[in-house]
Amino acid sequence: MQETLSMLYFWLKAGHIIFMVFWMAGLFILPRQLVYMHPSAPGSAEEALWATRTGQLRKIILTPSLIVTWVLGLTLSVTIGAWSDGWFHAKLFLVLLLTGYHGFMVALSKKMARGERPMEEKRLRLWGEVPALLLALIVVLVVVKPF
């Protein structure tokens, strides 16, 4: 099994990177869509349009990309034996945070689609910066492997 995974390493890595980019693109877009939805009146046609867009983003890009990224990432970690490396544990922690952020934003988008506005627009804009920060830290850990 290990030999087969080793032969597929570069394909697994390419797939992991591709779906991670899709996932991150969705995480960058979702908060922006929520910022655009924020000023629309609850129950309005504009709100319904943004609710449809955020729903499609979640169902077509975000959730499938999250799943494939996790599956390929865990498969890669087994293939290269990363479970004993400190950088991998730090990366895994940050990816868990990113996954939690994903869940938080999905829940927020569903609330906003129902007409709720649980967060001020300015705060929502700040939350939109979280994936960029986590992505930068994750890339440094994977490329530099500082520990």
Residue bearing tokens 């990432």: 73
12-61 pLDDT per residue, tens = 999 999 999 999 999 999 999 999 999 999 999 999 999 999 999 999 99
Q: Band of the pLDDT at 130, cuts 50, 70, 90?
A: very high
The tally of domains found in the chain comes to: 1
Res 123: pLDDT: 97
Global pTM reads 0.93
From the list 52, 51, 54, 48, the residue with the least C-alpha distance to 31 is 54
Query: CB of 34 within 8 A of CB of 112?
Result: yes
State mean pLDDT over 65-82. 96
Q: What CA–CA distance (Å, rounded) separates 130 from 2? A: 36
Res 3: pLDDT: 78
Q: What is the CA radius of gyration of the chain?
A: 18
Res 6: pLDDT: 73
Environment class of residue 92 by beta-carbon count within 10 Å: exposed (0-12), middle (13-18) or buried (19+)? Answer: middle
DSSP code, position 82: G
State mean pLDDT over 111-127. 97
Tokens of 22: 């899709």
**Enclosing domain of residue 87:** 2-144
State mean pLDDT over 100-122. 97
16 labelled binding-site residue: yes
102 labelled binding-site residue: no
